[in-house]
Amino acid sequence: MARSWRRAGIVALPFVLAWAAVLAVFTALRDRLPDPVATHMGPGGQADGFTGLGAFLPVATTLLLLPGLIASVVAYCSRMALGGQRMLVATGYGTAAMLGYDLVALLEANAGAGRAAQVAFPLWHLAVSFAVAGAVGGAGWLLAGRDAAPADEADEAAEAAGPRLPLGKGETAVWTRSVGSPVLVVVGAGITLLGVVLTVVMDVTAESALIAVGLISLALSRCRVTVDRRGLSVAPWFAPRPRMRIPLERITKATSREARALGLGGWGYRIQPGRSALVLRSGDALFLRLATGKEFVVTVDDAATAAALLNTLVERDRTATGT
Amino acid sequence: MLFRVDLGSPVPLGDQIAATVRGAIADGTLRPGERLPAARALADSLGVNVHTVLRGYQRLREEDLIDLRRGRGAVVTGEQPTARARLLEGVQNLVEEARALGLSDEEVLSLVRTRLASRYSGAPYSA
């Protein structure tokens, strides 16, 4: 599927609109805003964190336009219909709406208070921002659905019989290979580092979530993929658990081909309609057609051997159980 | 990499596992520094005893093809494992062919000694 500026525009739209709204409100209220402005609220809705007036706009711009830019670059490069990634689009819309609402409400609260220390931010604002996020996210979901995903181009290839790996009667075979993801290593290390720095510099506990996300990315950055008499399993490189397993009974057919990470929906564990994929890098990938009609993909070197062995084992399993 | 064992073969399973790994190192599928699957996981996959797998790994360690370290698992060694594995496969073939011809161990060794002596004339073989 071709790259599309229209898709890039659709995913960037809510971020740009939210930024424009914040910019407009900031300009209108500028004379009445205290310096510094209150930017963080304690649990009771009382201001307990402050930012210089001059820094407010750059920070708000980064918060809104950077994710918007990233989202549209991904949408542009992935060549995928938005209909196949509705959840992502909806999340982007919801996030932009929530950020935009909170920033505007924050400016209003600051302008009304006169002095930053007196700024109060009633907690019902949070409830409203969640509602707004939900509504706008829903709109994003519907909008993305109009960009229908094309029929699976792999179906034709899947019609042909899958490759085989001849095995003797008493012979058992196991295929195993580890695959690493430079992208997940860099992203994981980066997020962890950011979390640690934020925790030290700003002394806030919320950033421990960042550290957790970073460490999970790092843990998943190298996996071992195994094909054996039980089926396919994927486990992290350092331990046999947690393990993802697809038993032979659930596999109809295995094939292998080159795949691009962005074409599969990005790096990590991606769930899309009709397909889930464990994407560590672009390149050789193993495609499984499941009994449910869905598809499972894992990117791994030498996927051709894995596919051949899986087809042979599936066939042997069927013959043995007589189904 | 692909492990194959034949439960019907007279060759011990541990040796079959070692031969698979040796072959993979010889043809470049397994490169220096790469890690072999954990013995327990591989035993589960093949449906054999974990000691059988460890026997195979132990043999590879004796051949200096892999390092076995507690906690690190089995790793292909960094020192020319590919060439080494090929040499060992050659030795394996030599032994098999000699057996097929009905040669005794002593006869095989003397053949090898003679060959070594003629190749490096002047360097006496010391056993």
Note whether residue A313 is domain-resident. yes
Residue B67: which of B21, B27, B23 has the closest Cα? B21
A175 HSE (CA, 13 A, CB side):
21
- Please give the average per-residue pLDDT across B118-125, as a whole number: 58
**Contact indicator for A274, A295 with CB cutoff of 8 Å:** yes
**Contact indicator for A234, A223 with CB cutoff of 8 Å:** yes
| A137 and A213 co-located in one domain | no
| A46 and A92 co-located in one domain | yes
B 26-85 residues inside an 8 A Cβ radius of A: 29, 34-35, 37-38, 40-42, 44-47
Which is more confident, B115 or B16? B16
State which amino acid sits at residue A259.
Answer: A
Which residues are CB-neighbours of B21 under 8 A, at least 6 positions away?
B1, B3, B30, B36, B56, B60, B65, B66
Give me the CATH number covering residue A300. Answer: 2.30.29.30
| Chain A CB within 8 Å of residue B7 CB | yes
| A112 and A36 co-located in one domain | yes
Q: Which residue of A has its CA nearest to B42?
A: A174
pLDDT tens string, chain A, 323 residues long: the values are 566 788 888 888 999 999 999 999 988 888 888 878 887 777 667 777 777 888 888 888 888 888 888 888 888 777 667 766 777 888 889 989 988 998 888 888 888 776 777 777 777 888 888 899 999 999 988 888 777 655 454 544 444 567 888 877 788 889 988 888 888 888 888 888 877 777 766 655 566 677 777 888 887 788 889 998 888 998 887 776 778 888 888 888 888 888 887 777 778 888 877 888 888 888 889 998 888 888 899 998 888 889 889 888 888 888 877 65
pLDDT of residue A150: 54
Q: Which residue of B has its CA nearest to A175?
A: B2
Residue B127 has pLDDT above 50, yes or no: no
CB contact under 8 A, A174 and B35: no
| A243 and A278 co-located in one domain | yes
pLDDT of residue B55: 92
| Shortest distance, CA A233 to any CA of chain B (angstroms) | 10
| A260 and A315 co-located in one domain | yes
ipTM of the complex: 0.71
| Shortest distance, CA B41 to any CA of chain A (angstroms) | 7
| A31 and A104 co-located in one domain | yes
Q: How far apart are CA A158 and CA B36, in angstroms?
A: 32
**Contact indicator for A14, A92 with CB cutoff of 8 Å:** yes
Note whether residue A161 is domain-resident. yes
pLDDT of residue B96: 86
| A172 and A187 co-located in one domain | no
A104 HSE (CA, 13 A, CB side):
19
Note whether residue A205 is domain-resident. yes
Cis omega (within 30 of 0) on the bond before A242?
yes
pLDDT band at residue B119, thresholds of 50, 70 and 90? low
Nearest Cβ partner of B2 from A175, A229, A237?
A175
Size of interface A-B (CB pairs under 8 A): 61
Nearest Cβ partner of A172 from B1, B29, B46?
B46
pLDDT of residue B124: 55
| Shortest distance, CA B11 to any CA of chain A (angstroms) | 13
pLDDT of residue A19: 92
Domain span at residue A266 reads 155-177+222-321
pLDDT of residue A3: 66
pLDDT band at residue B116, thresholds of 50, 70 and 90? confident
The structural domains of chain B, ordered by start, are 1-101 (1.10.10.10)
Summarize pLDDT for B36-91 with one digit per residue, the tens: 888 888 998 898 999 999 999 999 999 888 888 877 788 888 777 777 778 888 88
Q: What is the DSSP string of A89-134?
A: HHHHHHHHHHHHHHHHHHHHHHHHHSSGGG-B--THHHHHHHHHHH
CB contact under 8 A, B3 and A224: no
Nearest Cβ partner of B6 from A168, A174, A235?
A168
| Shortest distance, CA A188 to any CA of chain B (angstroms) | 23
Q: What is the DSSP string of A12-56?
A: HHHHHHHHHHHHHHHHHHGGG--SSEEEEE-TTSBEEEEE-HHHH
Taking CB atoms and an 8 Å cutoff, what residues of chain B touch A172?
4-7, 46-47
| A11 and A37 co-located in one domain | yes
Rg of the Cα trace of chain B?
17
| A69 and A167 co-located in one domain | no
pLDDT of residue B64: 85
Note whether residue A61 is domain-resident. yes
pLDDT of residue A227: 92
| Chain A CB within 8 Å of residue B87 CB | no
Taking CB atoms and an 8 Å cutoff, what residues of chain B touch A235?
41
Angle at A295 between CA A178 and CA B47, to 5 degrees: 45
| A238 and A209 co-located in one domain | no
pLDDT of residue A50: 79
CB contact under 8 A, A171 and B5: yes
**Contact indicator for A172, B7 with CB cutoff of 8 Å:** yes
What are A146-155's contacts with CB under 8 Å, separation 24+? Answer: A146/A83, A147/A7, A147/A10, A147/A81, A147/A82, A147/A83, A148/A81, A148/A83, A149/A80, A149/A81, A149/A83, A149/A84, A149/A273, A150/A1, A150/A81, A152/A274, A152/A295, A154/A255, A154/A257, A154/A287, A154/A295
CB contact under 8 A, A174 and B7: no
Query: What is the tally of structural domains in chain A?
Result: 3
Taking CB atoms and an 8 Å cutoff, what residues of chain B touch A304?
none
Sole residue written with tokens 């205290």: A34
| A95 and A169 co-located in one domain | no
Within 10 angstroms of residue B96's Cβ, the number of other Cβ atoms is: 10
| Chain B CB within 8 Å of residue A305 CB | yes
| A19 and A50 co-located in one domain | yes
Note whether residue A150 is domain-resident. no
